[in-house]
Amino acid sequence: MAQDNNAVAKDTKATKPVTQNADFEAENAKTTSRGYTAIEDSVISKIAGMAAREVSGVYALGGQAARMVGALRDTVGASTNVQQGVSVNTDNNSCNVEVAIVAEYGVAIHELAEAIRQNIINAVERMTGLTVNSVNVTVHDVHLELDEDEPEETTAIEGTKNYR
């Protein structure tokens, strides 16, 4: 059976348009009788990133390298990358999300991870109509809120540092 490379599957349950364009994989396209809506992974990543940042106790998103790149972007005046620390895999109207965070010191990390998970699921499912199968949360660090006005002091005992 010959297929046009730009044709969309006619079955309303089919979710993948037939296309050879590598830049636009629409495995998560919703097909209706009037056309299809395809949501790219970058859109889902932005939604998930914003949802994770909304949760109290999240200091930052991303591992150390991603945060360093983000800090560099801030110093040159570039806009904040809300996708930092978020990756998404989509398949047939569902997705899996992975998010890397830095937690604020003192929060219950297991409760924080569950709150992040629930907020991402709610936001992505509400805004996209996709089913979220899983949200994996990796905590890369804990941010210690030190008073930045007071400098650290080095003691004579083995060069240890004291913080006031």
pLDDT in tens, 108-162: 999 999 999 999 999 999 999 999 999 999 999 999 987 444 445 545 555 555 5
Answer whether residue 152 is part of any domain. no
Whether residue 46 is found in the same domain as residue 16: no
Predicted TM-score of the model (pTM): 0.66
Answer whether residue 69 is part of any domain. yes
Answer whether residue 117 is part of any domain. yes
Angle between helices 109-128 and 41-53 (to 10 degrees): 140
Six-digit token pair at 126? 């509400």
Distances (CA, A) of 7 to 23, 34, 46, 78, 113: 16, 13, 28, 39, 41
Whether residue 54 is found in the same domain as residue 109: yes
Cα–Cα dist 132/152, whole Å: 45
Compute, in degrees rounded to 10, the torsion defined by CA atoms 51, 37, 30, 10. -170
Whether residue 29 is found in the same domain as residue 87: no
Give residue 3's domain range.
1-38
Whether residue 68 is found in the same domain as residue 104: yes
Cα–Cα dist 9/84, whole Å: 34
Number of domains forming the structure of the chain: 2
